[in-house]
């Protein structure tokens, strides 16, 4: 992967995305795509996803996040492209999160 194609995005997903297996579903999808980062519930009922990797692959994940697993009802996914931080080595579920 060339340095110019390495990207990172923060995606905040709204809707019925907690209590429906959304985080585990995101972890499987992102890991399968070879992305690094994390997914976590936010206290206000939303889910935050941070992903690092090839920009086109992150865009693929974003499309999947907007669909979600069968029991979820995604209303909105807000994407913010950010400067990649310390490159993470895996994609994980995090179990604590605030509202931002």
Does the annotation count 70 as an active-site position? Answer: no
Active-site residue (options: 16, 23, 28, 29):
23
Q: Which of 92, 89, 94, 34 is nearest to 60 (CA)?
A: 34
Active-site residue (options: 16, 41, 55, 87):
41
Does the annotation count 66 as an active-site position? Answer: no
3-31-98-8 Cα dihedral, nearest 10 degrees: 20
- The catalytic residue positions are 23, 41
């Amino acid at each position: 992967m060339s340095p110019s194609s390495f990207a990172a995005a923060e995606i905040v997903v709204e809707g019925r995305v907690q209590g429906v297996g959304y985080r585990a579903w995101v972890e499987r999808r992102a890991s399968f795509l070879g992305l690094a980062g994390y997914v976590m519930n936010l206290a206000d009922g939303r889910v935050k996803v941070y992903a690092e990797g090839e920009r086109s692959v992150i865009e693929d994940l974003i499309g999947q996040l907007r669909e979600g697993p069968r029991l979820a009802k995604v209303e909105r996914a807000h994407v913010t492209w950010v400067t990649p931080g310390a490159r993470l080595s895996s994609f994980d579920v995090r179990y604590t999160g605030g509202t931002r």
